[in-house]
Amino acid sequence: MKRFTEKVHHEQQKEAVWVMREKDDEQSEQVGKRKSDEEQEDDSLKTPIVYSSRYGVRFCGMEKLHPFDAAKGAHVLKFLLKNEIFRHGRFYEPSEITKAELQKVHTRKYLRSLKRGYLRPMRFQTAGSILAGSLALRYGWAINLGGGFHHCCAYKGGGFCPYADITLLINKTLEEEPNVETAMIVDLDAHQGNGHERDFYENEKVFILDMYNASIYPRDHEAKLAISCAVELKPRTADETYLKKLKRSFKYALSEFRPDLLVYNAGTDILLGDPLGLLSITPEGVMERDQFVFATCREERIPIVMLLSGGYLKSSAKVIAESIVNLKTKGLLVY
């Protein structure tokens, strides 16, 4: 597989046309047990957005004093429910991921090193990412209001990322879904996604596009060898340059590799003023970024699962919610 950094081709974007992926009985059986008629009817009313009240990180009330938003998913949901196009109780809720499921990727030594009680919200978010992956295949898209722990690999964590939810999601899908043979990760968090890069090094079934601030954590040069398309940004990169580089690199990536599933790590730590991302993207820039990624996937008929990943401003939740509402308004979230 040819690897490159930034040198990509200009291509004109076409109008997005959404075509719903067909469902079949065999795929439904792969997802889980056959549901009753009543349960199927209930699911038909749901939106493929995944969330649990257990996502919020709590630590003796200290999270309220922290400058970061420890309940970002809950705040996104609150904003979404203020908009009448989304209704309360119509979302999917994951169960906590089990130790046995985690061991399908993580080493026992690494799992023993973790403080399980404090990390329980992350286990729910990890399960949410996996659930969102299966929903994306069913609906054509899905959004987990959490997850995106892209610094964690099979044998170590880092940067607020205790579990490798992206690896778990992709591995499970490749193993259990007969119609999914390839996957693409489009990592647009401000930081390099060194966790999934270490896990998928030299894996020809997974293509990684990673666009990140090259001057900040983690600067993992060994993990960079796994990136299929690397776009390294300078600090304070603003909307025009950012979006231009994204559009060129994403179009090029899809000309080189055809995924059956796309994992979109949609970090909002790219926002102007974020204390860790150190980029200068406006809320309008985030909205245009998300719209471009979703529209391209729909045009190419690629199921997409979106994970929230990083974003350390209190305003991030509102920006995310407004972007999701924009996707719905534009007709890009059909279910």
Active site residues: 151
Helical axes 283-299 vs 239-256, angle rounded to 10°: 20
Residues with Cβ < 8 Å from 251, sequence gap 6 or more? Answer: 8, 9, 11, 13, 296
- Tokens 């949609």 found at: 266
Q: What value does the CA radius of gyration of the chain take, rounded to a whole number of Å?
A: 18
Cβ(166)–Cβ(198) below 8 Å: no
Helices (H), 17-119: 25-31, 37-44, 72-82, 99-102, 108-112
CB 249 within 8 A of CB 3: no
